[in-house]
Amino acid sequence: MSSQFPDLKNEMDQISVPVEKLDTIIAETVSETKIKKPKKRIVMYAVSAAVVGFGLFIGSAMVSPAMAKVASNIPIVGTFFNDIGDEGLKIAGQKGLTQVVDQTAKDNGVTLTINEVFYDGTRLTLGYTQESILPLGELERPVIKADGKEINFSSGYSGEFVTPQKYKGVIDITPTKELPEQFEMKIHFDSVGLVPGNWTFQFPVKQSNEVKVIRLDEDIKLVGAELNVNSLKIGPAGTVLDMKIIADSGLLDPHSLEFYLIDDKGSVINFLNGRIHGETVDGKEYATIQRLYEPLDERVGRVKVIPYRIEFPLGDLKEESVGMDKIELPFRMSQGEFGDIIITDIKYADDRTIVYYDVQGEAILDNYASMSTLWIEDAKGEKLILDEKPFPERIKDQSFKKEFDTGKKKGLTLKTRHQPLPEMLEGFEIEIP
């Protein structure tokens, strides 16, 4: 074997993989459906209506030494969040509000580095890189301690391979209880992908002082429930709404509630993720709710919060479809009571298809039109998702465009489905000093 390349067999033999865990992975792979799974993983209870995806260019890095060289030299420390798809973290990185950690731990053939951390009271996010001979990717759920005390949290993961052996990832951590303004953070991972080991890091974390906290104690009466709004936190990387709810069991399920956040210009602020934690006592459900949205424009003076819920019928939702080679524009597709989609234009490139469309209906849509579903399937029924652009993009008003990873495939089908219209509840406004 050439001395320019590592002895892959020896490296792989040194990596200990539990047989029972490998069997589980194989079983899951065999039973996996054809639908592509999103990259974002949620631990405990966390939801994500607009998770921004990352590009994946393993293939180009493998076949092009020049591309691999460029990818391996992507700047990491000091600018980690500047080139990812999260607008809030981009802003934090550009303003220099992140904290450089640059701690590395090695075990069992895997090198893990915590590059940067961002914490401002609205979100706690870690940026990391992982290097190994095998493309392992995402981390397993860690144990996290703040000032020596283990915290309970929900978390979401996203990332990309910058080379076949280097993975760049982000962990969004949402504690169930508020953390101090500054604390000593200890984080321990006992597994990276299939590989067990010990990767432990400890470093100080300090809250950014650019967060505006609006303390509220406002009670909102809902049908079968009482909603208490605790606070609105406005930071450079996100906007957090903290609430509590007491609901009568059987009348209103707190887990079915979502919340639009709309600024005084009428723009819907994109939802990023959230959590809910509660218990039932004497026929009543007590829950705390937190919702994270993208940052507000500095000129916004007021926001409106509109609670809503969607009751999905039992069984599969009805689908509408049209063959891409038979479509005549403009083409109308029904989404049931949710409204209609009007396909206004379709453009083709060598590796993708771009669909332009209008959404007609009474529902409120965010910038990703996340509640108005539209997708393309190939002749085998597989959804064709463009990893770096998995969501639609608003062009203007209710007009959107969405790109699909179709290549030069034939026999494509454009699909949507019928959806119930959200039930809008009484909203309330929050003044921003």
All residues at 6 or more sequence positions from 218 whose CB lies less than 8 Å from its CB, including other chains: 228, 229, 428
**In the block, residue with structure tokens 């731990």:** 105
**In the block, residue with structure tokens 């039109």:** 369
Output phi, psi for 177, to 5 deg. Answer: -130, 150
306-327: pLDDT as tens digits: 999 888 877 889 999 999 988 9
pLDDT of residue 59 exceeding 70 = no
- Alpha-carbon distance of 62 to 165, in angstroms, equals 10
Give CA torsion, residues 324, 325, 331, 332, to 10 deg.
-50
411-425 residues labelled b (16+ CB within 10 A) or e (exposed): ebbbebbebbbbeeb
Whole-Å CA distances, 360 to 247, 311, 340, 342, 374: 34, 21, 5, 8, 14
Whole-number CA gyration radius for the chain: 23
Output phi, psi for 77, to 5 deg. Answer: -70, 130
Token digits for 392? 């639609």
pLDDT of residue 298 exceeding 50 = yes
DSSP class of 15: S
Q: Which of 30-39, 85-94, 150-159, 230-239 has the lowest mean pLDDT?
A: 30-39
Helix and strand element counts for the chain (H, E): 5, 27
pLDDT of residue 15 exceeding 50 = no
pLDDT of residue 73 exceeding 90 = no
327-351: pLDDT as tens digits: 999 999 999 999 999 999 999 888 8
pLDDT of residue 65 exceeding 50 = no
The larger pLDDT score, comparing residue 137 to residue 58, is at 137
Q: What is the mean pLDDT of residues 127-139?
A: 84
pTM (two decimals): 0.64
Q: Which of 297-301, 305-309, 407-411 has the lowest mean pLDDT?
A: 407-411
pLDDT of residue 61 exceeding 80 = no
23-57: pLDDT as tens digits: 443 333 333 333 333 333 333 333 333 333 333 32
- Alpha-carbon distance of 51 to 335, in angstroms, equals 23
State the average pLDDT for the chain: 79
pLDDT of residue 75 exceeding 70 = no
- Alpha-carbon distance of 99 to 107, in angstroms, equals 25
pLDDT of residue 413 exceeding 60 = yes
- Alpha-carbon distance of 305 to 240, in angstroms, equals 12
Q: What is the mean pLDDT of residues 82-111?
A: 83
All residues at 6 or more sequence positions from 405 whose CB lies less than 8 Å from its CB, including other chains: 351, 352, 384, 385, 386, 387
At 71, the pLDDT band (50, 70, 90 cuts) reads very low
Terminal CA-CA length for the chain: 68
pLDDT of residue 264 exceeding 80 = yes
Going by C-alpha positions, the residue among 154, 157, 136 that lies closest to residue 144 is 154
pLDDT of residue 13: 41
Q: Which of 24-33, 97-106, 211-220, 348-357 has the lowest mean pLDDT?
A: 24-33
The larger pLDDT score, comparing residue 88 to residue 183, is at 183
- Alpha-carbon distance of 144 to 148, in angstroms, equals 9
Token digits for 50? 């607009």
All residues at 6 or more sequence positions from 415 whose CB lies less than 8 Å from its CB, including other chains: 319, 320, 321, 374, 375, 376, 377
Q: What is the mean pLDDT of residues 70-74?
A: 37
The larger pLDDT score, comparing residue 52 to residue 100, is at 100
The larger pLDDT score, comparing residue 161 to residue 75, is at 161
Going by C-alpha positions, the residue among 118, 114, 98, 95 that lies closest to residue 106 is 114
